[in-house]
Amino acid sequence: MTADVNGKATVEVTSAGPIAGAVKVSAIIPAPKNPPTATFTLTTLPLGPESPVVLNSASFLPGIAPGGLVTFIGPGLTPTIQGVVTDPTQMAGYAVSFDGIPAPILALVNQNGNQQINAQVPFEEIPGTSDNITIETPEGPASLSNVTVEPLAPGIFTNGTVAVSGQNYALAEALRPDGSLVSASNPAQPGENITFFATGLGQTAPNASTGVPGQPGQIVAGTLFAGVNNQGDAVVSAIYQPGAVGLYAVTIQVPANTTPGPAQPLLLLMMDLTGTGYSAPPAYLPIQ
């Protein structure tokens, strides 16, 4: 350590230990005997996640609901993970809870500088504006307070984009009747049934359970509207996807007289018991 012309010296602290709080640091200048010592304190922050954001896993926008999928993104969320981990036996030390209710973790991600945790909001969670979320990692926890959990928070899963007149449109992840993926080169056809996937559509009948994959026959219990080109179409079915957690499949019939185009808007609207509506963020379908 060398002082400047004003007698001011600096020292770099590279490690202050694993415990958060006040730390005493002593800087000793080498000398033959009786070396001068400068002592000061600093405060270390706890290890763990740093202000993670809470997003709907389909839209990647704010808006989560009981039973729906949630994505947390931020530094420090998955410090011991490399790549993508979906095996629960490899998730030791990680946990998420809503107001003390455990939330199943579906994936831990740490790749390309992105750290995230994908989980399911427990069906038991009571909607409100003062909900609390706790995230635990092997290097420390994070607590989020006053989080809003909506009664319903529809989000449509997308798969790629299409450029139209210089603007990119997110294409809904949807299947045609033959099971093929709807795409710019394989557009939906007027008059046919297409199935798209969503989250945040609430409880089903019979009831779905937190962390339990969907079973055949579990239909969306709430009032649901869906359609293309800003009009309501015939909803063939709206179910909790068998074999999946937090995922719903909605099948609609594309009207025979609908307007074709490379990126036609797809509507998804849910209504709660009070008559309040919850719309999914925009997604689009190519229709021939």
Give the SS3 label for residue 89.
helix
Sign, CA dihedral 49-50-51-54, equals negative
Q: What is the mean pLDDT of the chain?
A: 90
pLDDT beyond 50 at 221: yes
Q: Of the ranges 16-20, 117-121, 203-207, which one carries the lowest mean pLDDT score?
A: 16-20
DSSP state of 160: E
Percentage of the chain modeled with pLDDT above 90: 81
Mean pLDDT for the stretch of residues 157-177 = 96
Terminal-residue alpha carbon distance, the chain: 72
Say what the pTM is. Answer: 0.84
CATH 2.60.40 fits 53-149, yes or no: yes
Cα(47)–Cα(39) distance, integer angstroms: 25
How do the domains of the chain map onto residue ranges? Answer: 53-149, 155-287
Cα(1)–Cα(4) distance, integer angstroms: 10
Q: Which pLDDT does position 224 carry in this prediction?
A: 97
Confidence of residue 169 (pLDDT cuts 50, 70, 90): very high
pLDDT beyond 70 at 119: yes
Same CATH topology for 53-149 and 155-287: the answer is: yes
Q: Which pLDDT does position 234 carry in this prediction?
A: 86
pLDDT beyond 70 at 168: yes
Mean pLDDT for the stretch of residues 18-38 = 56
Cα(65)–Cα(246) distance, integer angstroms: 10
Q: Which pLDDT does position 26 carry in this prediction?
A: 59
Please tell me the class of the 155-287 domain. Answer: mainly beta
Which tens digit of pLDDT belongs to each residue from 48-99? 899 999 999 999 999 999 999 999 999 999 999 999 999 999 999 999 999 9
**What phi and psi values does residue 147 have, to the nearest 5 degrees?**
-85, 140
